[in-house]
Amino acid sequence: MPARARAQTSAVGSVVEVVQRIAIVGAGPSGFYAADQLLKAGFAVDLYDRLPTPFGLVRAGVAPDHPKIKSVTRIYEKTAAHDAFRFFGGVELGADITRDELLARYHAVVYAYGTARDNRLGIPGEELRGSHPATDFVGWYNGHPDYTDLEFDLDHERAVVIGNGNVALDVARMLVLATEELAPTDTADHAVAAFHGSGVSDVVLIGRRGPAQAAFTNPELRELGELSRADVVVEPFEAELAEDATPTARRNVEILQEYARRQPGDKTHKVILRFCLSPVEILGDETGRVSAVRVVHNRLETGADGRVRAVATDQQELIECGMVLRAVGYRGEPVPGVPFDADLGRIPNNGGRVTGPDGDPLRGEYAVGWIKRGPSGVIGTNKKDAADTVAKLLEDAEHDRLGVPGDGADADAIAAWLRERVPGVCTWEGWLNIDEHETAAGAPAGRPRVKVVRMEDLQRIAAGA
Ligand SMILES: Cc1cc2nc3c(=O)[nH]c(=O)nc-3n(C[C@H](O)[C@H](O)[C@H](O)COP(=O)(O)OP(=O)(O)OC[C@H]3O[C@@H](n4cnc5c(N)ncnc54)[C@H](O)[C@@H]3O)c2cc1C
Ligand SMILES: NC(=O)c1ccc[n+]([C@@H]2O[C@H](COP(=O)([O-])OP(=O)(O)OC[C@H]3O[C@@H](n4cnc5c(N)ncnc54)[C@H](OP(=O)(O)O)[C@@H]3O)[C@@H](O)[C@H]2O)c1
């Protein structure tokens, strides 16, 4: 389809045809789904990412032992093959370029930059050595350059994972994978080495509410019971399922009850799931390293809104451990210049149209994905989410409500501006160089890729060196 064009009056008064070009900031699933839909609607799309590598959490979040899920990138590669698509990697909005600079060059800007920070527990001891947000651990084992130099001390027997979502399951599983389960993955080499030397044999997962309220999805919970060297341990329990409990919650309870009925296993490692416990303090030893988590036992109470709440009792318990991973959800962080709702941790928006302080939509600014709706939902959720935002953008285009870029904002001028601003800007061809390098490095060992984990190496390889 030819690129969508619009008549615009130039600075010297002549009417020119201008290709309608959209900047999308963030090359994760939501950015790619939005790009695909906008390209199909006839727009030209420039997709920006702060990393030279695309795919967001598909590359840096999804667990390395889930290669099938990561293969969704094949769909994004098809989007990138479109003539009117360009990738500008290694360009950070708010650091290398500003919101105003984008608005001056594009008919619209779509924010798709995700929610990379961790939620806090707000309890004493959270900052002790050995207490980490799962966001850091996930970034580290997935070879995200920001997390490569972190250190995780695995020289102890027990790790505690706080939270009952799929990220908690991911990090628990990664801690107990057997060598042969880890070997065919694209886990970053520094993490493979650390996992090989790990002394962690028990992982205790703590949920503040009950089995029926866990946020796990069924296949992920079932997978936990099929690990080659780790038994899953659940105490027998009675679960009260609400009448309107979702099929996922009902199935989770069945899976957990099946785990509770299992005979004690004799595998070398254990994943122990415990419920109705809230951490109240993380304790350290004399060197300042995590030594235990103090938890309080909760009872469950259904509020007037129908939500089941955890209410602390006066029974407490100490769980000794050498590491705590806090997997209690992600959080957006503000990007300088872009509207941000600090309470909700995302960009204020109305169905994808970014809104200003008065709640009215801002001309030519949109949001998709986790930074639009918050950090929940699987990869596919972002497709419908992007479609909803793109529908709003198309409606605005029909009514001439998009932005009006200034003169000199054509494709070549934008590329020249970026090359000047970010000399190492990585194009799609640059990413293909990285991809080829990584997959070639992985092939001899039957791995999908060996990740390049340092920014300077990524930039060098992208440049063809
Ligand atoms: C640990 C983990 C594991 C997961 N595993 C699965 C799974 O197995 N299956 C599944 O279906 N879903 C999984 N999910 C959920 C899925 O990853 C998300 O639904 C999805 O990635 C959200 O997409 P997004 O595009 O909104 O954000 P992201 O994927 O986070 O992409 C945001 C992109 O924006 C870029 N960016 C950030 N700031 C800037 C900036 N200032 N300038 C330019 N670029 C910027 C980032 O580098 C990133 O590439 C997982 C999530 C997590 C956290
Ligand atoms: N394989 C996959 O498909 C996969 C893998 C990873 C992630 N994802 C998706 O990515 C999204 C994010 O996952 P997530 O695990 O980060 O978030 P999540 O699903 O929202 O789970 C967060 C967990 O943290 C708990 N929690 C929050 N605050 C807490 C506190 N102060 N103390 C104790 N517990 C607390 C929550 O308990 P309450 O319920 O009590 O609030 C919940 O159990 C989800 O949609 C998930 O399905 C998918």
Do 251 and 364 have their domain in common?
no
454 falls within a domain: no
What is the average pLDDT across 351-373? Answer: 97
> Residue with the nearest Cα to atom 16 of ligand 2?
329
Q: Which pLDDT band, with edges at 50, 70 and 90, does 266 fall under? A: very high
For residue 220, which atom of ligand 2 is closest to its CA? 1
Write the DSSP symbol of residue 62: S
At residue 356's C-alpha, the angle toward residues 351 and 362, to 5°, is 70
Note whether 58 and 105 are same-domain residues: yes
| Contact 220 CB / ligand 2 (< 6 Å) | yes
pLDDT at 349: 98
Ligand 1 in contact with 162 (CB < 6 A)? no
Q: Within a domain: residue 37?
A: yes
**Which protein residue has the closest C-alpha to ligand 1 atom 33?**
26
Q: What is the pLDDT of residue 244?
A: 87
The pLDDT score that the predictor gives to residue 60 is: 98
pLDDT at residue 240, rounded to an integer: 80
Closest CA to ligand 1's atom 9: 378
Indicate whether residue 169 lines ligand 2 (CB < 6 A): no
Question: Rounded to the nearest whole angstrom, what is the distance from the C-alpha of residue 267 to the centroid of ligand 1?
Answer: 34
Residue nearest ligand 1's atom 50 by CA = 62
Q: SS3 of 37, please?
A: helix
Closest to 45 in 3D by CA, of 329, 315, 386: 386
* 306 shares a domain with 157: yes
Query: What is the rounded distance in angstroms from the CA atom of residue 428 to the CA atom of residue 431?
Result: 5
DSSP letters for 231-277 = EEEE--------TT--HHHHHHHHHHHHHHHSPP---SEEEEEE-SE
CATH classification of the domain holding 407: 3.40.50.720
The answer to whether the CB of 157 falls within 8 A of the CB of 202 is yes
Q: State yes or no: pLDDT of 239 exceeds 90.
A: no
State how many domains the chain has. Answer: 2
Q: 212 and 138 in one domain?
A: yes
Q: What is the pLDDT of residue 10?
A: 61
**Cβ neighbours of residue 266 closer than 8 Å, sequence gap 6 or more:** 231
CA distance 121 to 288: 19
* Mean pLDDT (the chain, rounded): 95
* Residue 145 Cβ contacting ligand 1 at under 6 Å: no
CA 128 – CA 291 distance, rounded (Å): 10
Whether residue 163 has its Cβ less than 6 Å from ligand 1: no
Q: How many whole angstroms from 225 Cα to the centroid of ligand 2?
A: 19
Q: Which of 282, 310, 326 lies at the terminal end of a domain, its last residue?
A: 326
Within a domain: 243:
yes
Q: What distance in angstroms lies between residue 329's CA and the mean position of ligand 2's atoms? A: 5
Residue range 40-67, pLDDT digits in tens: 999 999 999 999 999 999 999 999 999 9
Same domain, 152 and 256: yes
For residue 447, report the distance from its CA to the centre of ligand 1, in Å: 23
Predicted pLDDT at 373: 97
What band does 465 get if pLDDT is binned at 50, 70 and 90? confident
Is the pLDDT reported for residue 385 higher than 60? yes
* Judgement on whether residues 225 and 132 belong to the same structural domain of the protein: yes
> Ligand 2 centre from 411 Cα, in Å?
41
Cα 20 to chain centroid, rounded: 30
Residue 204 lies in a domain: yes
Query: Do the domain assignments include residue 449?
Result: no
> From atom 5 of ligand 2, which residue's Cα is the shortest distance away?
166
Span of 84-88, 115-119, 199-203 with lowest mean pLDDT: 115-119
Separation of alpha carbons 398 and 78, rounded Å: 27
Quote the pTM value: 0.96
What is the residue with the minimal CA distance to atom 36 of ligand 1? 113
Take atom 24 of ligand 2 and give the residue whose Cα is closest: 328
With a pLDDT cut of 70, the percent of the chain lying above it is 97
The whole-number average pLDDT for the span 365-381 is: 97
Residue range(s) defining the domain that contains residue 232: 120-326
Residue nearest to atom 15 of ligand 1 (CA): 378
Same domain, 170 and 308: yes
The pLDDT of 281-301, averaged and rounded, is 97
- Provide the CATH number for the domain around residue 251: 3.50.50.60
Q: Which of 113, 218, 325, 349 has most ligand 1 atoms within 8 Å of CB, for mutation?
A: 113
- Which residue minimizes the CA distance to atom 21 of ligand 2? 165
Number of the ligand closest to the Cα of 333: 1
- Are 461 and 429 in contact by the 8 Å Cβ rule? The answer is no
Last residue within a domain, chosen from 292, 308, 326: 326
Q: Is the CB of 422 under 6 A from ligand 1?
A: no
pLDDT tens-place string over residues 390-446: 999 999 999 999 999 987 689 999 999 999 999 999 999 999 999 999 999 999 999
Locate the ligand 2 atom nearest the alpha carbon of residue 121 and give its number. Answer: 31
Q: What is the reported pLDDT for 19?
A: 83
C-alpha 427/C-alpha 387 separation (Å) is 25
Q: What tokens appear for 390 in the block?
A: 């793109």
Mutate to test the pocket of ligand 2, among 328, 371, 381 (most ligand atoms within 8 A of CB): 328
- At CA 456, angle to CA 454 and CA 459, rounded to 5? 110
Residues 6+ apart with CB under 8 A from 444: none
Taking 50 as the threshold, does the pLDDT of residue 1 lie above it? no
The structure tokens 């098809």 sit at 78
Tell me, yes or no, whether 69 and 183 share the same domain.
Answer: no
pLDDT, position 2: 45
**Boundary (domain end) residue, out of 304, 326, 348:** 326
Q: Specify the pLDDT at position 3.
A: 64
